[in-house]
A and B are shown apart, each in its own frame.
Chain A
C-alpha cells in the first residue's frame, strides 16, 4: 500500500467517526438550547398572563401568540408550582400527534383557583434542528473532500524529494566508484535519512573495496611464496639417489603448488578485471587469435580425438590483447575439458559472433550457476572452477553478450561482439 493511500484511509476513517460523533452532539445540544429558549418564552408568557390577571382580574381577552392555552378550574383550592411538561397533542389539521412543550401553573382569584397550561408546538424547531444538522453534515463532507485533495497536493510537494532520492538509492550500484548523490531536502527528517543513506553506502563501499583489495593483495602476496615452494621442489626433484616414494612425494608437492598458483593467478586476474587494471584496448583480429590458440591446443584436441570443425572469418574487435586471449582460450579449454571423448567441437566465427560448441552430457547444475566461481559440474579436481567466471567477467567488462545453450547434445557458448566491433 502506498504511503498516500494509507494515510488517506486512516484520515478518512477517523474523520467519519469524528463527524458522526460531533453531529450527534450538535443535534442534542441544539435541541437542548431550543428547549431552553421555548421554556423561557413560556415563562415570559406566564408572567404576562399573571400581570394582566392581577391588573384586570380577568383573562378572557388575553391573546396568546404562537401558543395555545387550556384553562381548568381546580377543585382543590390549592396553588400549584409552575411545571414544564413534554407532551403530544392530536392535531386535527395534520391528523398526527405533534410534539408540544407546556407550562402548567395556577392562578388564584378570590373565588377559585384556575389551572392554566400554555402549550407551544415544537414542530418548527425540531425541523430547524434537523435542517441545521443536515447542513452541517454537508459542510463537513465538502470540507473533508477539500482536505483530501489538499493533502494530495501537499503530499506530492513534500515527499517528491524523498521519492526522487529513493529511486536514486534503488538504482545505485555499490560497485561503481561514484558517490551516492541525493537531493538535499528542507525537511529535517528527510535530510537525516539522506545522511544515513550516504554514510551507509559509504561504509558498504569501503567494505566492498577492502574486500576486493584483500583478494588482490592476498593473491599478489601468495605468488612469491608459491614460486619459492615450486622452485625448491624442482630442485629436490633433481637430487640424486631419490627413492620412488620420495620422488612421488616431491612431485605431488610440485603439482599441488602448481595448481595453487594457477588458482591464485585466476583470482588475481578476476580482481584485476574488476578493478579495471588492464591496459588499453587495441584492434585485434579474433580470427588470428583463434587460429593461434587452436594451433596451441591442437595437441590436446588430437589426444582426446575430438572431431573439430572450424568456420572462421576475419572479425576485428577493440579489446585488450591479454584479455582477448584469456577469453577465447578459456572457452576453448572449457570445450576440451568438458567435451566427451571422441565428441564434436564446433567453432564458428562470423558476423560479430563467436560460437563455441562441444558435445557432452546435459549440465547437472542450473544454467544460471554456470558462470559462478567454484561451481563445477564435473568432479575433475584439476578444474579450477574459475575459467567461466573469468569469461563472464571479461564479457561484462566489454559488454559482450554471452549466451549458453544446450541443444542436440551440444553445449554452446555464443558471444556477441557487436558493441566493440572494429573494422578490419
Chain B
C-alpha cells in the first residue's frame, strides 16, 4: 500500500514515515511543501494521503482539491493542528475522509488508515483475519471459528484498535483516547481501559479464541499475532 505524507516539519515527518514504513510495512513518500506534494500526486497513484493543512507555501486544502479534480481515488486524512480546527470542516467538505488533531498517537493514525483503507476496499475485502479470529469492519461483526460473538460498541472498538495495531506496544492513554474520542484528563479513569481489556479477553477466551492480548507493564498492552 502506498501512502503520501505531506508534512513540513521534518522531524515529525521522519518519525511518522519511520513508523509507517518500519512498523506497518507501508510504502511511504513524504513531501514537505505544497509544490512537491502536488507533483507527487500527479505522478503517482497513492492509496492514502496524509495532509497537514499548514504548509510553508500554501494550504494543504489545495492538495485535497487537486486530488478531487484529478479524480484520484486516494483516501485523504487531514492531520492538523488544533488552531486549524475550523479549516478541517472545509477539508471534509472538499472530500477528505477523516482528520486527526496533532499531536496524535501513532496507533491511532494507523487505526484510521486501516479503517479508511477497508472502507475504500483497497485490500479487496473488509475482513481482518488473525488465526481463528475474524473481524469484519463493514458489518462490525466478530467471529471466532465462523461463530459470531456479540460485542458492545466499545468492546468492538477496542478489539479493532488492538487488532489493527497488532504486534505493537499500545499505551493505555492511546486506547483511552481512542475509546472516548477525546483527551481524557483523568489518570485514575485509565482504570476503565484495564476493565475493558479484562472483559474483552474473557469474552474471547470463553468463545475458544486464543488470548492474543498481553500486558506491557507500565505502558499498556500488546496484541501479539503473527
Contacts from A to B (Cβ < 8 Å): 220, 223-224, 226-228, 230-232, 234-235, 237-238, 244, 247-248, 250-251, 254-255, 257-258, 261-262, 265, 268-269, 272, 277-279, 296-300, 302-304, 321-322, 329, 333, 336-337, 380-384, 387
Contact = CB atoms under 8 A, between A and B. Distances in A.
Interface string B186-200: 111101100110000
B19 A235 contact: yes
A242 B190 CA distance: 23
B180 A383 contact: no
B203 interface: no
A268 B82 contact: yes
B83 A268 contact: yes
Nearest to B23: A238
Given A237-B219, A247-B216, A228 B185 contact: no
Contact of B173 (A224, A231, A258): A258
Contacts of A228: 9, 11-12, 15
Given A238-B22, A329-B182, 10 more contacts: A228-B12, A231-B15, A234-B19, A300-B186, A303-B189, A303-B192, A304-B192, A337-B186, A381-B187, A387-B185
Interface residues of B, number: 45
Interface stretch (B40-48, B99-107, B142-150): B99-107
A247 B216 CA distance: 8
Nearest to A245: B218
Contacts of A299: 154, 179-180, 192, 196
6 contacts: A223-B102, A230-B105, A231-B16, A234-B15, A302-B192, A382-B187
B1 interface: no
A227 B102 CA distance: 7
B189 A304 contact: yes
B219 A247 contact: yes
A272 B103 contact: no
A301 to B, nearest CB: 10
Nearest to B181: A296
A337 B185 contact: yes
Contacts of A380: 185-188
A303 B191 contact: yes
Interface string B4-23: 00000101100110110011
A252 to B, nearest CB: 8
Contact of A224 (B9, B179, B189, B195): B9
Contacts, number: 127
Interface string B156-169: 00000000000011
Contacts of B134: none
Q: Which of B22, B86, B179, B217 has the most CB of A within 10 A?
A: B86
Given A231-B106, A383-B185, A300 B219 contact: no
Contacts of A333: 182, 185
Query: What are the 5 tightest A-B residue pairs by CB atom distance, in nearest-first order?
Result: A303-B192, A231-B15, A248-B218, A227-B103, A228-B11
A112 B171 CA distance: 147
Q: Which of B86, B103, B168 has the most CB of A within 10 A?
A: B103
A220 B83 CA distance: 8
Nearest to A248: B218
Given A231-B16, A235-B15, A300 B192 contact: yes
Interface of B: 9, 11-12, 15-16, 18-19, 22-23, 81-83, 85-86, 89, 101-103, 105-106, 154, 168-169, 171, 173, 179-189, 191-192, 195-196, 216-220
Contacts of A232: 11, 15
A383 B186 contact: yes
A35 B118 CA distance: 128
Nearest to B188: A380
Contacts of A226: 103
A234 B191 contact: no
Contacts of B188: 380
A255 B217 contact: no
Q: Which of B18, B85, B86, B102 has the most CB of A within 10 A?
A: B85
A300 B106 CA distance: 23
B184 A300 contact: yes
Nearest to A251: B219
A253 B16 CA distance: 18
B169 A238 contact: yes
Contacts of A237: 169, 171, 219
A384 B184 CA distance: 11
Nearest to B89: A321
B101 to A, nearest CB: 8
Contacts of B85: 322
A255 B173 contact: yes
Q: Which of A277, A303, A321 has the most CB of B within 10 A?
A: A303
A299 B15 CA distance: 31
Contacts of A296: 180-182
Contacts of B18: 235
Given A248-B219, A387-B185, A300 B180 contact: yes
Contacts of B189: 300, 303-304, 336-337
A324 to B, nearest CB: 13
Given A237-B171, A238-B169, A387-B185, A261 B83 contact: no
A384 B185 CA distance: 7
A231 B195 contact: no
B141 to A, nearest CB: 21
Contacts of B196: 299
Nearest to A257: B103
Nearest to A320: B86
A154 to B, nearest CB: 58
A251 B12 CA distance: 18
Q: Which of B19, B154, B184, B219 has the most CB of A within 10 A?
A: B219
Contacts of A230: 103, 105
